[in-house]
Amino acid sequence: MGELADAWSMEGRPNLWGVVPKVLEMQSEAGAAGTLHGSLQAGALSTTFTSSQGLLLMLPNMFKIAGELTAAVIHVAARSIATHALSIFGDHSDVMAARQTGFAMLASASVQEAHDFALIAHLSTLESRVPFLHFFDGFRTSHEVTKIESVGDDSLRRLVDEELIAAHRQRSLNPNRPVLRGSAQNPDVFFQAREAANPYYDLVPRIVAEAMDRLASETGRHYSLFEYHGAPDAETVMVIMGSGAGAAIEAVERLVSQGEKVGTVVVRLYRPFDVGAFLATVPSSVRRVVVMDRTKEPGAVGDPLYLDVVTALAEGGVAADVYAGRYGLSSKEFTPSMVAGAFAEVSGSSPRRHFTVGIVDDVSKLSIDYDAGWWVEPDDVTRAVFYGLGSDGTVGANKNSVKVIGEQTPLYAQGYFVYDSKKAGSRTISHLRVSPREIRSTYLIESADFVAVHQFDLLGTDNALEIARPSGRVLINSP
| pTM score over 0.85 | yes
Reference 271, options 40, 76, 58, 45; nearest CA is 76
Query: β-strands 412-419, 382-389: how paired?
Result: unpaired
pLDDT band, very low/low/confident/very high, at 246 (cuts 50, 70, 90):
very high
Q: Where are the domains of the chain?
A: 2-218, 226-356, 382-476
Q: Tell me whether domains 2-218 and 382-476 share a fold.
A: no
Between 64-73, 177-186, 239-248, the lowest mean confidence (pLDDT) is in 177-186
CATH node for 382-476: 3.40.920.10
Q: Which fold has domain 226-356?
A: Rossmann fold (3.40.50)
Q: What average pLDDT does the chain have? A: 95
The torsion defined by the Cα of 211, 213, 214 and 218, in degrees rounded to 10, comes to: 140
Find the angle CA(449)-CA(455)-CA(460) to the nearest 5 degrees: 90
With contact defined as beta carbons under 8 Å apart, do 103 and 62 qualify? yes
Phi, psi of 385 (to 5 degrees): -125, 135
Tell me: pLDDT of 419 over 90: no
Tell me: pLDDT of 424 over 70: no
pLDDT, tens digit (0-9, with 9 covering 90-100), for 96-130: 999 999 999 999 999 999 999 999 999 999 999 99
| pLDDT at residue 391 in the model | 83
For the chain, the maximum distance between any two Cα atoms, rounded to a whole number of angstroms, is: 80
Q: May I ask the CATH class of domain 2-218?
A: alpha beta
pLDDT band, very low/low/confident/very high, at 423 (cuts 50, 70, 90):
low
DSSP letters for 177-213: S----S----TTTHHHHHHTTHHHHHHHHHHHHHHHH
Q: What is the rounded distance in angstroms from the CA atom of residue 168 to the CA atom of residue 137?
A: 30
Q: What percent of the chain has pLDDT over 70?
A: 99
